[in-house]
C-alpha cells in the first residue's frame, strides 16, 4: 500500500464513520451506530499499526513518511500544505489515539446502549478521532491548529452531549471558550514564528532554530514559545486555564476517558515535544513551563484530596498528571514527558472507563460517599482499577512508576531543573497516592454505603474487555522506557522508547553524568513517601472511617478552601466574566445608544433648529407674504432712488 | 373770491399724489384687513389708483395709449372681482368664514 | 457586452416583474431569471485571465463628453468575486423569501433586481460619475425594502440608513467633482475615469489635515467607512438589520456592506496612497475598536438579529484591518473575508428569518432547547456558527487567519488586540447558541399547540449552497485566491504609484505571451 493511501485510510476512516453516523443520527440503535464507529476506529488502528511497521522497516535515520495532499493556502510567502508527516514521535501518538480510541469506542457501545442519541454520540466520537489524528500528523503548525480547534469543537459537542441540561451545555461552552483563549495565544505564537522563520512547517522550523539559546524575555522566539505554551495551557488544562476540565466531566464517561484523559488534553504536551529544538532554544519559556507544570501538579492534586465525585477526583488527577508532563518537558525531558503521556493515557483511560463501569452499575450515581464495598459486586472492574491505582501512585514495577520516576529524576538532575521542582513533583506524588487510595477505599473497599434500592452488578463483557486490555497495558507499558539506573541493574535493559525517539528529540544540553546513588535515593524517597501516604489513606478510609471527618473538622477553613477549588471559578466569574458582561452592557447602553446615536441626533437637531428658524417666515399667511413683497418693493425703490 | 386758477393749477403731480395715496390705502387694506371681501375691495382701490395715474399721464403727455390701458385694467378688475367674489362666496358657503387668517393650509 | 448585460439585465428583469400578470408564477420566474443572471456571471471565468492584473472585459463608450464622463465597465481580480457573490446570493434570497414576503410581491422582486443592478454597477463601474450613480441607486430599492416590508420601527430605520449613507456620499461627490477638475488641470481634458484618477499626482503634506490629498482621502474614506460600517459610524446598521425583512438583511449584510470595503480597496487606498499610508493607524485603530466593540455589544443583545448585526460590525472591522495592513496577506484576507461574511452572515440572517417565520419572535430569552425539537435547523445553525467564529476548515478561518497574520506582519500591536476578537466571537455566538438551542425548552419552543416544524425542502435548498460554500472556501481557498492574486499583488506592490492597465479582451493570448516573455 502506498503511504498516501495508508495515511488517508488512517485519517479518513473516522471521518467516514462520522459521516455515516451523522447521516443516520436519528436512529436509536447503539449497536449499529457503535459498530460502524468502532469499525472505523479499528480500521484506523490497523492502518496505524501498518504505518508503524513501515516505519520500523525503514533504516533508523530515515524513519519518516511524508505525504502531501494538496496546497491549502498560498498567499505571498505563506505556503501551507495539507501535509502530514509520520515519524517515531507521532507514530506513538497515533497508536495511542487509535488504540485507546478503539477500546473506548467498544466500551461505549455498551455504555451508551440506552441513550437515544447514540448515533450522534458515535458520530462525534469519530469526528474527534479524525481531528486528533490531524492534530498529531499535521506537518505544520496550521494543520495542527486545524486539529487543535477541531478537537476542542468535538470536546464542546460531547461535553454538552446531554444539552437539555443547561449546566452541561454551559460546561461545554466553558470548555470551548477557555480553549479559545488558549487558541488565540496559539495564533499569536504562530504569527511570531512565521515572522521569525518565514514558515510554519515543523521540520523547517526545527532545522532553522539557532544553535545558541536566547536568554531575552522579549525576543520573538521566547514570546512565540510562550504564546504557544499559553495555547497548550488551554488545551492541556494547566494553570491558569485548567478550569474547564473538571466541568468537562458533564460529558459521558467514555468521553472523559478518551478526550479528557488519554488524548486531547495531551495535545499541548505533544505540541511542545514536536517543537522541542525550538523550546530548548528558549530556556526562559522552559522555566515557565516547568514551574506552571509543577504548580499545577500540586494544586490539582490537593483539590483531588477533597472531592466526592468519582469523576471529579479523576479529573483533578488528570490535571495533576498533565502538570507532570509539563514539568517534564519544561526541564527538557521530552522523552520522559511523552513516556508519561503514554502510560497516563493507559492508566487514566482505564480508570475513567472503570469509573464509567462503576457509574453504570450504580445507576448514574457519581458520589463516592454512596459507594463502598463494590469489590465483591464488580470483581473485574475492581481488579483492573486496582492496577490503574498501582500505576498512578507509582508503585514499581507498574508503568506509572517508570514514567513518573523518570520525570522526577530529571527535574532534579537536568540543568534546566531545580531541586524545588523535584520537591513540587514529589509532593504531588505523595498527594496522588493519598487521593487515589482514598478513591479506591471509598469506592471498592470498606463497608458498603450503597443505597438499598441500588444493586450494583458487574458490567457486560463489552465493557470489561477494554478494561482488561488497558489494565495489561498499564501494568507492562513501563518496560518500554526503563530508566538507565534500573536497566543497568537488571542486566542492561535498553530504554526502547528513548532509542526509538532519538531522531526526533534533542537531548538535554549539558546533562551531567548521572549519579547512581542520588538517583536511587531520590527514587526511594518519592516512592517511599507515596507508599506511606497510601497506607495512611488506607488507614483513614478503611480502618477508621470516622477519622477523615474528625480531621477535616480540625482544619475546616483550609478544607473548605480546597474543597471549593480555591475559589478559582468564583474569582474568574467575579473578576473577568461578570465585569465583562457588565461593561458590555454599559458600553451598549451608554456608548452606543446614548452617545453615538445621540450625537447623530444632535447633528440632526441642529439642522432641524436652523430649519425652524427659517420656517417661521413661511407662515402660510398670504398677507405676510404680500407684506414681504411690499417691503421688498419699498426697499428696492429706496435703494434706486437714494443711490 | 374763489380763485378759479385752482383748476388750471392742478397739475400732474396732484393726480399722482392722489393716486399714490389711494394706492397706499388700498395696499394697507390688502396687508392688514382680514375680511376677504374688504381685501377684494382694497385690490379694486389699488387698481383704480393705478388707473388715475394712467389717465393723468395720458392727458399730460397727449398720448392715448394710457387711456386704452385703463380699459384693459378695468376689464381685468371686473373679471377679478367676479372671480374673487365668487370664490369668497363659495368659501363662505363652505366654511362659514371669510377671515383669511383661517385659510393657512400652505403654512410650512 | 458581457458586463453590460450583467449590469443591465436585472433592470429588464425588474420591468418584467412589474408587468408580469400572473402572481403565482412570479416567484418561479424571478428565481429563473436570477439563476440565468448567475449563470451569466459564471461565464466571466471563461473570459477572465487570472494571470493579469489589468482591467478586463472592458466596455467604454462616451457619455457626457464635455465632462469626460464615460459609460465605463471593467472587471479585475478585486471585483470578480464580489460580482459572483452578488449574483450567487440573489437566487438564494429569492428562495429564502418565498414565504416571508406576502404583500406587494411584484414590487419586492422588482426592487431586488434593481438593487442587483446597482450593486453590480458599483462593483464594475470604472468611471467615477458612473460609479456614483450606481452607489446612490443602491439606496433607493433598499429604502423601499426596509420601508415597506420592514418591521414596526421601519420608517425610523430607513431614514437613519438613508441619511447616514447620504452624508458620506455627498462628500464623495464633491471629491469626485474636484478630482475631475484636477484631471483637467493635469491632462488638459476633463475626465471622470478612474484610470485617469489613478494617474493624478495629488500633493500630500504629512501631518497637515487641510491639505489636498488628505481632504480628498477623507471625503472618500468617510463615504465608504459609513457604508462598511466602521466604528463609530455603525449605529445605523443594527436598526436597519432589525427592521429589514430577512431578504433585505441578507442582501444588506451580504453585499451592500462590501460596497464600502470594496470602495476602500478600489478607490481610497490606490487613489491616495500617501494619505492612506499616513492615516492607516487611524483606520487600524477604529477597525480594532470595532472588532472588540462589536463583539462585546453583540454579547449582551437580547435580540438574535441585533446580535448578528453587531457581529457584522465586528467582522467588518476585521476586513478593514486586513485592508489597511497593506500587505498581500492582509489584503487577500480582507477580500476573502468579504466573501466569507457575505456567506456566513447572510446564512445567519436566513436562519434567523426561518425561526422568526415559525415563532414570530427574535428574543433570545424566549427560546431554549431548540436542538431537541429542530435537529436539522440546529445542525445548519451550528455549521454557520462555526463559520462565523472561524473554526478551521470553514471559510471564516482562512479569512481571519490571513487578516490577523497580515496585520501582525505590518503592525503587531493591533494584531495583539484584534486576536481578542477570536475569543469574544466564540463567546457571543456560543452563548447565544446555548441559550437558544440548549437547556430546557423555552416558552416559544414548548408551546404544544404550535409545534415547530423542522426545515422544509425549500429551506434546505437555501441552506445547502451556503453550507457547500462554507466548506469549499475553507478547504480550498486557493481555488479562490487564484483569480484575485494577480490584482492584489499588483495593488500591494505598486500601491504608491498605482496604475491600472486596460486589457483588450481580444488580445488575451498575446498579452499572456508577453508576460511569459518577460
> Mean pLDDT, to the nearest integer, of C130-150?
91
Q: Evaluate whether A236 touches A269 at the Cβ level (below 8 Å).
A: yes
Over residues A13-46, the pLDDT tens digits come to: 999 999 998 887 677 677 888 889 999 999 999 9
> Mean pLDDT, to the nearest integer, of C222-250?
90
**Chain A neighbors of C440, CB-CB under 8 A:** 164, 166
> Mean pLDDT, to the nearest integer, of A543-567?
82
Query: Beta partners for C125?
Result: C73
Number of domains in chain C: 1
Q: Searching chain C, which residue's CA lies closest to the CA of residue A74?
A: C478
What is residue C517's predicted lDDT score, i.e. its pLDDT? Answer: 38
Q: Pick from A391, A392, A491: which is nearest to A432 by CA?
A: A392
What interface predicted TM-score (ipTM) does this complex get?
Answer: 0.91
Q: Evaluate whether A440 touches A309 at the Cβ level (below 8 Å).
A: no
> Mean pLDDT, to the nearest integer, of A431-454?
87
What is residue C505's predicted lDDT score, i.e. its pLDDT? Answer: 55
What is residue A125's predicted lDDT score, i.e. its pLDDT? Answer: 92
C339 in any annotated domain = yes
Buried b (16+ CB within 10 A) or exposed e, A261-280: bbbbbbbbbbbbbbbbbbbb
Over residues A562-606, the pLDDT tens digits come to: 888 888 888 888 888 888 888 888 888 888 888 888 888 888 889
Q: Rounded distance, CA A78 to CA A85, Å? A: 19
Over residues C6-47, the pLDDT tens digits come to: 999 999 999 998 898 888 888 899 999 999 999 999 999 998
**Chain B neighbors of A615, CB-CB under 8 A:** 108
Q: Quick check: bond before B76 cis, omega within 30?
A: no
Query: What residue spans of A494-596 are helical by DSSP H?
Result: 496-501, 516-538, 547-554, 556-563, 568-572, 578-586
Number of neighbours of residue A492 by Cβ within 10 angstroms = 9
Model confidence at A117, pLDDT cuts 50, 70, 90, reads confident
Residues in Cβ contact with A583 at an 8 Å cutoff, skipping those fewer than 6 apart: C296
Q: Lowest-confidence range among A112-121, A266-275, A634-643? A: A112-121
What is residue B106's predicted lDDT score, i.e. its pLDDT? Answer: 53
Q: Rounded distance, CA A38 to CA C491, Å? A: 52
Place of cell 488502528: A45
CB pairs under 8 A between A and B: 26
Low-confidence ranges of chain B (pLDDT < 50): 108
pLDDT at A166 over 60: yes
Residues in Cβ contact with B71 at an 8 Å cutoff, skipping those fewer than 6 apart: none
What is residue B7's predicted lDDT score, i.e. its pLDDT? Answer: 61
C64, containing H or E segment: strand C56-64
- Say yes or no for a CB contact (<8 Å) between B31 and A626: yes
User: How crowded is the C-beta side of B82, counted as CA atoms within 13 Å?
Assistant: 6
Number of domains in chain B: 1
Number of neighbours of residue A582 by Cβ within 10 angstroms = 11
A633 touches chain B (CB under 8 A): no
Q: What is the DSSP letter of A138?
A: B
What is residue C515's predicted lDDT score, i.e. its pLDDT? Answer: 44
**Chain B neighbors of A613, CB-CB under 8 A:** none
Compute φ and ψ for C59, nearest 5 degrees: -130, 125
- Say yes or no for a CB contact (<8 Å) between A169 and C402: no
Q: Pick from C427, C467, C238: which is nearest to C343 by CA?
A: C467
Model confidence at C518, pLDDT cuts 50, 70, 90, reads very low
C265 in any annotated domain = no
How far away is chain A from the Cα of C218, in angstroms, using its nearest Cα?
A: 19
A619 touches chain B (CB under 8 A): yes
B72 in any annotated domain = yes
Q: Rounded distance, CA A615 to CA A262, Å? A: 78
Find the CATH number of the domain harbouring B29. 1.10.287.3510
Q: Evaluate whether C344 touches C387 at the Cβ level (below 8 Å).
A: yes
Strand A78-86 to C56-64 pairing: unpaired
Who among C416, C423, C430 is closest to A173 (CB)?
C430
> Mean pLDDT, to the nearest integer, of A460-481?
88
C384 in any annotated domain = yes
A68, containing H or E segment: strand A65-75
**Chain A neighbors of B100, CB-CB under 8 A:** 621-623
pLDDT at C347 over 70: yes
What is residue C514's predicted lDDT score, i.e. its pLDDT? Answer: 43
What is residue C39's predicted lDDT score, i.e. its pLDDT? Answer: 94
B23 in any annotated domain = yes
What is residue C516's predicted lDDT score, i.e. its pLDDT? Answer: 41
- Say yes or no for a CB contact (<8 Å) between A73 and C415: no
Roughly how many angstroms between the first and final C-alpha of chain A, as a whole number?
Answer: 110
Place of cell 447558541: C433
What is residue B3's predicted lDDT score, i.e. its pLDDT? Answer: 62
Mutation site for A-interface testing, chosen from C427, C429, C486 by largest number of A Cβ within 10 Å: C427
B2 in any annotated domain = no
What is residue A618's predicted lDDT score, i.e. its pLDDT? Answer: 74
- Say yes or no for a CB contact (<8 Å) between B107 and A627: no
Q: What is the DSSP letter of A79?
A: E
Q: Evaluate whether C505 touches C94 at the Cβ level (below 8 Å).
A: no
Predicted model pTM:
0.88
pLDDT at C510 over 50: no
How far away is chain A from the Cα of C331, in angstroms, using its nearest Cα?
A: 10
Over residues C364-389, the pLDDT tens digits come to: 888 888 888 888 899 999 999 999 99
C368 in any annotated domain = yes
A561 touches chain C (CB under 8 A): no
Mean pLDDT of chain A: 88
Q: Note which residues in 21-80 of chain B have CB less than 8 A from chain A.
A: 27, 30-32
**Chain C neighbors of A163, CB-CB under 8 A:** 369, 371-372, 437-439
DSSP A295-316: HHHHHHHHHHTT--BHHHHHHH
Number of neighbours of residue C410 by Cβ within 10 angstroms = 19
How far away is chain B from the Cα of A601, in angstroms, using its nearest Cα?
A: 22
Domain boundaries, chain A: 140-563, 569-642
What is residue C383's predicted lDDT score, i.e. its pLDDT? Answer: 94
A62 or C430: which leads in pLDDT: C430
Q: Rounded distance, CA C81 to CA C63, Å? A: 28
Q: Lowest-confidence range among A24-28, A269-273, A450-454? A: A24-28
> Mean pLDDT, to the nearest integer, of C424-443?
90
Domain containing C461 equals 287-496
Secondary structure class of B43 (helix, strand, coil): helix
Please state at what angle helix A30-57 crosses helix A88-111, rounded to 10 degrees: 160
What whole-number percentage of chain C has pLDDT above 90?
58
Over residues A326-364, the pLDDT tens digits come to: 999 999 889 999 999 999 999 999 999 999 999 888 888
Domain containing B48 equals 10-102
What is residue C92's predicted lDDT score, i.e. its pLDDT? Answer: 93
Q: Lowest-confidence range among A150-164, A190-204, A450-464, A467-481? A: A450-464
Amino acid at each position: 500500500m502506498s503511504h498516501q493511501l495508508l495515511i488517508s485510510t488512517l485519517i479518513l476512516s473516522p471521518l467516514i464513520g462520522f459521516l455515516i453516523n451523522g447521516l443516520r443520527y436519528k436512529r436509536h440503535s447503539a449497536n449499529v451506530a457503535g459498530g460502524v464507529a468502532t469499525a472505523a476506529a479499528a480500521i484506523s488502528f490497523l492502518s496505524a499499526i501498518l504505518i508503524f511497521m513501515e516505519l520500523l522497516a525503514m533504516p533508523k535515520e530515515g524513519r519518516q513518511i511524508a505525504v502531501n495532499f494538496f496546497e491549502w493556502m498560498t498567499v505571498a510567502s505563506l505556503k501551507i500544505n495539507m501535509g502530514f508527516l509520520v515519524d517515531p514521535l507521532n507514530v506513538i501518538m497515533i497508536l495511542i489515539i487509535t488504540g485507546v480510541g478503539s477500546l473506548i469506542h467498544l466500551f461505549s457501545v455498551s455504555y451508551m446502549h440506552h441513550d437515544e442519541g447514540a448515533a450522534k454520540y458515535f458520530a462525534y466520537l469519530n469526528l474527534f478521532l479524525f481531528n486528533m489524528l490531524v492534530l498529531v500528523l499535521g506537518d505544520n503548525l496550521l494543520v495542527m491548529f486545524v486539529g487543535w480547534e477541531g478537537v476542542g469543537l468535538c470536546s464542546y459537542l460531547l461535553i454538552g452531549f446531554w444539552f437539555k441540561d443547561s449546566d452541561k451545555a454551559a460546561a461545554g461552552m466553558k470548555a470551548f471558550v477557555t480553549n479559545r483563549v488558549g487558541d488565540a495565544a496559539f495564533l499569536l505564537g504562530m504569527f511570531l514564528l512565521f515572522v521569525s522563520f518565514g514558515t510554519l512547517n515543523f521540520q523547517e522550523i526545527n532545522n532553522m532554530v539557532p544553535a545558541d539559546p536566547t536568554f531575552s524575555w522579549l525576543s520573538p522566539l521566547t514570546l512565540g514559545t510562550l504564546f504557544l505554551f499559553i495555547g497548550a495551557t488551554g488545551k492541556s488544562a494547566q494553570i491558569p486555564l485548567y478550569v474547564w476540565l473538571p466541568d468537562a466531566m458533564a460529558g459521558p464517561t467514555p468521553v472523559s476517558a478518551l478526550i479528557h484523559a488519554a488524548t486531547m488534553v495531551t495535545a499541548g504536551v505533544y505540541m511542545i515535544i514536536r517543537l522541542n529544538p525550538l523550546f530548548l532554544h528558549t530556556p526562559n519559556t522552559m522555566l515557565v513551563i516547568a514551574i506552571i507544570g509543577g504548580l499545577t501538579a500540586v494544586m490539582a492534586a490537593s483539590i483531588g484530596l477533597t472531592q466526592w465525585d468519582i469523576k471529579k477526583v479523576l479529573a483533578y488527577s488528570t490535571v495533576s498528571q498533565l502538570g507532570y508532563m509539563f514539568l517534564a518537558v519544561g526541564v527538557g525531558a521530552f522523552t520522559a514527558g511523552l513516556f508519561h503521556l503514554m502510560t497516563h493515557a493507559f492508566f487514566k483511560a482505564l480508570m475513567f472507563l472503570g469509573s464509567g463501569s462503576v457509574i453504570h452499575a450504580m445507576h448514574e450515581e457519581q458520589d463516592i460517599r454512596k459507594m463502598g464495598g463494590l469489590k465483591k459486586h464488580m470483581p473485574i472492574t475492581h481488579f483492573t482499577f486496582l492496577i490503574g491505582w498501582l500505576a498512578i501512585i507509582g508503585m514499581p514495577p507498574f508503568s506509572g512508576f517508570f514514567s513518573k520516576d523518570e520525570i522526577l529524576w530529571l527535574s532534579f538532575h537536568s540543568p534546566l531543573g531545580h531541586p524545588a521542582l523535584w520537591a513540587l513533583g514529589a509532593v504531588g506524588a505523595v498527594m496522588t497516592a493519598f487521593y487515589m487510595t482514598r478513591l479506591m477505599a471509598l469506592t471498592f473497599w470498606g463497608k458498603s454505603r450503597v443505597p438499598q434500592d441500588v444493586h450494583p452488578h458487574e458490567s457486560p463483557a463489552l465493557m470489561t474487555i477494554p478494561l482488561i486490555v488497558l489494565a495489561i497495558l498499564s501494568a507492562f507499558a513501563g518496560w518500554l522506557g526503563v530508566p538507565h539506573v534500573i536497566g543497568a541493574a537488571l542486566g542492561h535493559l535498553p530504554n526502547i522508547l528513548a532509542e526509538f525517539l532519538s531522531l526526533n528529540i534533542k537531548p538535554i544540553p549539558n546533562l551531567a553524568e548521572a549519579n547512581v546513588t542520588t538517583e536511587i535515593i531520590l527514587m526511594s524517597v518519592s516512592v517511599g513517601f507515596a507508599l506511606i501516604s497510601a497506607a495512611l489513606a488506607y488507614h483513614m478510609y478503611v480502618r477508621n472511617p470516622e477519622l477523615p471527618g474528625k480531621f477535616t473538622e480540625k482544619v475546616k477553613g483550609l478544607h473548605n478552601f480546597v474543597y471549593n477549588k480555591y475559589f478559582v471559578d468564583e474569582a474568574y466569574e467575579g473578576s473577568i466574566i461578570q465585569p465583562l458582561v457588565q461593561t458590555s452592557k454599559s458600553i451598549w447602553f451608554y456608548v452606543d445608544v446614548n452617545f453615538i446615536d445621540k450625537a447623530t441626533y444632535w447633528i440632526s437637531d441642529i439642522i432641524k433648529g436652523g430649519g425652524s428658524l427659517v420656517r417661521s417666515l413661511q407662515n402660510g399667511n398670504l398677507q405676510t407674504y404680500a407684506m414681504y413683497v411690499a417691503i421688498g418693493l419699498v426697499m428696492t425703490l429706496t435703494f434706486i432712488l437714494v443711490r | 373770491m374763489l380763485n378759479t386758477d385752482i383748476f388750471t393749477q392742478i397739475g400732474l403731480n396732484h393726480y399722482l399724489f392722489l393716486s399714490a395715496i389711494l394706492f397706499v390705502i388700498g395696499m394697507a387694506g390688502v396687508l392688514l384687513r382680514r375680511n376677504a371681501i374688504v381685501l377684494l375691495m382694497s385690490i379694486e382701490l389699488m387698481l383704480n389708483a393705478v388707473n388715475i395715474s394712467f389717465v393723468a399721464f395720458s392727458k399730460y403727455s397727449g398720448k392715448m395709449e394710457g387711456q386704452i390701458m385703463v380699459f384693459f385694467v378695468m376689464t381685468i378688475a371686473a373679471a377679478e372681482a367676479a372671480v374673487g367674489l365668487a370664490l369668497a362666496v363659495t368659501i363662505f358657503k363652505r366654511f362659514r368664514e371669510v377671515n383669511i387668517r383661517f385659510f393657512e393650509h400652505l403654512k410650512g | 457586452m458581457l458586463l453590460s448585460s450583467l449590469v443591465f439585465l436585472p433592470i429588464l428583469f425588474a420591468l418584467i416583474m412589474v408587468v408580469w400578470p400572473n402572481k403565482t408564477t412570479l416567484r418561479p420566474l424571478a428565481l429563473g431569471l436570477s439563476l440565468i443572471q448567475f449563470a451569466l456571471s459564471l461565464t466571466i471565468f471563461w473570459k477572465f485571465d487570472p494571470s493579469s492584473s489589468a482591467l478586463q472585459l472592458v466596455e467604454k463608450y462616451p457619455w457626457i463628453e464635455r465632462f469626460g464622463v464615460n459609460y465605463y465597465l471593467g472587471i479585475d481580480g478585486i471585483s470578480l468575486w464580489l460580482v459572483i457573490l452578488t449574483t450567487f446570493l440573489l437566487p438564494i434570497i429569492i428562495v429564502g423569501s418565498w414565504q416571508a414576503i406576502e404583500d406587494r410581491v411584484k414590487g419586492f422582486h422588482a426592487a431586488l433586481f434593481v438593487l442587483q443592478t446597482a450593486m453590480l454597477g458599483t462593483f464594475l463601474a470604472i468611471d467615477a460619475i458612473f460609479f456614483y450613480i450606481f452607489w446612490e441607486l443602491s439606496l433607493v430599492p433598499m429604502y423601499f425594502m426596509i420601508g415597506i416590508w420592514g418591521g414596526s420601527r421601519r420608517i425610523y430605520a430607513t431614514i437613519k440608513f438613508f441619511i447616514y449613507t447620504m452624508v458620506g456620499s455627498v462628500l464623495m461627490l464633491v471629491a469626485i467633482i474636484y478630482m475631475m477638475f484636477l484631471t483637467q488641470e493635469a491632462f488638459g481634458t476633463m475626465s471622470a475615469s478612474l484610470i485617469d484618477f489613478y494617474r493624478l499626482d495629488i500633493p500630500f503634506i504629512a501631518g497637515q489635515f487641510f491639505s489636498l490629498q488628505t481632504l480628498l482621502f477623507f471625503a472618500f474614506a468617510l463615504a465608504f467607512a459609513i457604508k462598511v460600517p466602521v466604528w463609530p459610524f455603525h449605529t445605523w446598521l443594527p436598526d436597519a438589520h432589525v427592521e429589514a425583512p430577512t431578504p433585505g438583511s441578507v442582501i444588506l449584510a451580504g453585499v451592500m456592506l462590501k460596497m464600502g470595503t470594496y470602495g476602500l480597496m478600489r478607490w481610497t487606498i490606490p487613489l491616495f496612497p500617501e494619505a492612506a499610508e499616513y492615516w492607516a493607524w487611524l483606520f487600524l485603530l477604529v477597525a480594532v475598536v470595532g472588532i472588540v466593540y462589536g463583539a462585546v455589544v453583540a454579547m449582551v443583545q437580547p435580540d438574535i438579529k441585533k446580535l448578528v448585526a453587531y457581529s457584522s460590525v465586528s467582522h467588518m472591522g476585521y476586513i478593514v484591518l486586513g485592508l489597511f495592513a497593506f500587505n498581500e496577506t492582509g489584503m487577500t484576507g480582507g477580500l476573502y473575508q468579504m466573501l466569507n461574511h457575505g456567506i456566513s452572515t447572510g446564512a445567519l440572517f436566513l436562519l434567523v428569518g426561518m425561526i422568526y417565520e415559525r415563532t414570530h419572535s427574535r428574543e433570545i430569552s424566549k427560546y431554549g432547547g431548540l436542538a431537541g425539537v429542530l435537529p436539522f435547523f440546529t445542525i445548519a445553525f451550528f455549521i454557520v456558527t462555526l463559520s462565523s467564529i472561524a473554526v478551521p476548515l470553514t471559510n471564516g478561518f482562512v479569512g481571519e487567519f490571513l487578516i490577523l497574520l497580515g496585520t501582525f506582519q505590518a503592525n503587531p500591536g493591533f494584531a495583539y488586540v484584534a486576536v481578542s476578537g477570536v475569543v469574544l466571537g466564540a463567546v457571543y455566538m456560543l452563548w447565544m447558541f446555548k441559550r437558544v438551542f440548549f437547556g430546557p425548552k423555552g416558552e416559544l419552543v414548548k408551546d404544544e399547540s404550535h409545534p415547530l416544524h423542522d426545515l422544509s425542502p425549500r429551506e434546505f435548498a437555501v441552506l445547502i449552497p451556503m453550507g457547500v460554500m462554507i466548506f469549499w472556501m475553507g478547504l480550498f481557498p486557493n481555488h479562490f485566491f487564484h483569480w484575485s492574486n494577480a490584482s492584489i499583488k499588483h495593488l500591494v506592490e505598486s500601491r504608491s504609484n498605482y496604475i491600472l492597465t486596460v486589457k483588450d479582451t481580444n488580445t488575451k493570448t498575446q498579452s499572456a505571451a508577453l508576460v511569459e516573455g518577460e
